[in-house]
Amino acid sequence: MLYILHGEDDYSLQQWLKQIKQGAATPDLLSANTTVLDGEQVSSAQLNTVCETVPFLSEKRLVIVNGLLERFEAKGKSRGNKKKKPAVERENELDTLAKNLANLPDSTEVVLVDEKITTNNPLLKELSAAAQIKHFPLLKGRELRPWIQQRVSAEGGTISPQAVDLLAALIGNNLWIMSSEINKLVLLNGSRRIEETGVRLTVGYAQEANIFAIVDAILEARPGRAAGLLQRLLQQGASPTYPLFMLSRQLRLIIQAGELKKQGKPGPEIQRRLGLPSEFALRRTLEQANRNSLPRIKRVYDKLLATDLTIKTGKLDAELALNILIAELGP
């Protein structure tokens, strides 16, 4: 079976991928029967070899390929810096990949995972008849509100329409953060309906202020204050990966906001282009961009990426890795 999952809504995409994994093998055999490949680097021969491999003590094996379709985008989009291959070679490679993926062994399930691809993608066209294709665009405007309602119901809670609107306004369409905040709200409210007041206390400016304050402390080389603020956030129920994600996101926003400000863009346009959920977030982001040098911000951002990799590869516990990061970024 061949699946193609693509789109910018990474949360929903990963939920579908999780379901596919659960159906591919039992939990104790899933790791042994799963191969993850970089679509930018893998050759058609390598992919075919992996797909032809017999499963280990299981009926199925799962092959996940990240970024293979993006490799064949018309404008030569690529996540790497490899030199573009000659047109004839690319055509031959595309044909071979398409034939192999359209004729998979019954024992192999392949999932092609991509973010931004166009409807004119040549490999997508070749595989459309043979694959189950799911597109995951970012939820926009009114689409987000029923998702919030359904997610709250799925967690066993209830929520007022006003609270739904406020959640959508404060968090926007990042469903990873939205899901985490909904879980927290349902847990805190129990059998009571989630109301605007509860959302403001749990998700509102206090949460935003914590992240901004941690970023300030890190950029100003005050590790003691940063560590204290981080512990407070964790004690409030945040997952250790949540502040890491939010810190990385905020540093990206600071860099982008500084560039847009240099270009003379007005505040409302900067807020819209960066997807900032409130005027408070816009004001604090611009303040941080004005107060800190670009080299310092980039150095901290690079360190955050390295810490994220350390956590994802299992080298360090997330909370410990964060505390080490904060100490390393001190004076």
- Asked if residue 38 and residue 18 are part of one domain, the reply reads yes
- Asked if residue 286 and residue 220 are part of one domain, the reply reads yes
| Three-state secondary-structure class, residue 138 | coil
CA distances from 251 to 148, 212, 275 (A): 27, 10, 14
Residue 75 has pLDDT above 70, yes or no: no
Structural element, H or E, at residue 331: none
Average pLDDT of the chain is 86
Can you say how many angstroms the Cα of residue 3 is from the centroid of all Cα atoms in its chain? 20
How many domains, in total, are found in the chain? 3
**Which residue range(s) make up the domain with 225?**
205-328
Residue 37 has pLDDT above 90, yes or no: yes
Residue 77 has pLDDT above 60, yes or no: no
Q: Helices 279-291 and 205-219 meet at what angle, rounded to 10? A: 0
CB 41 within 8 A of CB 169: no
Residue 5 has pLDDT above 50, yes or no: yes
Domain final residue, candidates 86, 110, 135:
135
Tell me the C-alpha distance between 203 and 209, whole Å.
10
- Asked if residue 212 and residue 179 are part of one domain, the reply reads no
Structural element, H or E, at residue 131: strand 131-135
DSSP 247-289: HHHHHHHHHHHHHHHHTT--HHHHHHHHT-SSHHHHHHHHHHH
Residue 204 has pLDDT above 60, yes or no: no
The secondary structure of residue 234, as a DSSP letter, is H
Q: What is the reported pLDDT for 76? A: 45
pTM over 0.85: no
Tell me the C-alpha distance between 241 and 57, whole Å.
34
- Asked if residue 277 and residue 248 are part of one domain, the reply reads yes
CATH code, domain carrying 235: 1.20.272.10
Tell me the C-alpha distance between 63 and 109, whole Å.
6
Within a domain: residue 199? Answer: no
Q: What is the reported pLDDT for 216? A: 82
Residue % of the chain over a pLDDT of 70: 91
Neighbours of 137 (CB within 10 A): 12
Q: What is the reported pLDDT for 74? A: 73
